[in-house]
Amino acid sequence: MDAMARGTWTDERLDDLNGRVERGFGGVQREFRAVRSEMRTEFQAVRSEMRTEFQAVRTEVQAEFAAVRTEILAVRSELGGQIAGSQRLMVQLFAGLITTVVLGFAGMIITLTIQL
């Protein structure tokens, strides 16, 4: 008969079961809140660390590009000076060649004139 009494659900037993279920879910809810809070804290830390690292990489890349740009401008300036020097040398050589040709023709004309 005791087994039969246990098998019936009374209001007191239902209220007791309801209280245990609520306490059990209350613990689960507290655990979920704790996990959520911990995850938020960890995610904020990761975001902060990533932001700091990305800023450091961005600063480093900008510095490297500035250094490369400066180097390219220096090489360009140096090449410009060398090209100007090469152009000047070519003009001088061309002027010397023309002078030589003109003087050679003048010498031939004078020689031919004297022989006639």
- For residue 43, the number of C-alpha atoms closer than 13 Å in the C-beta half-sphere is 6
How far is it, in rounded angstroms, from Cα 51 to Cα 39? 18
Q: How buried is 27 (Cβ within 10 angstroms: 0-12 exposed, 13-18 middle, 19+ buried)?
A: exposed
Does residue 15 register a pLDDT over 90? no
**pLDDT band, residue 47 (cuts 50/70/90):** very high
* Residue with the larger pLDDT of the pair 82 and 4: 82
**pLDDT band, residue 60 (cuts 50/70/90):** very high
72-88 residue pLDDT tens: 888 888 888 788 888 88
Sign of CA dihedral 100, 105, 111, 113: negative
Does residue 106 register a pLDDT over 60? yes
How far is it, in rounded angstroms, from Cα 87 to Cα 83? 6
Residue 7: its pLDDT value, please? Answer: 67
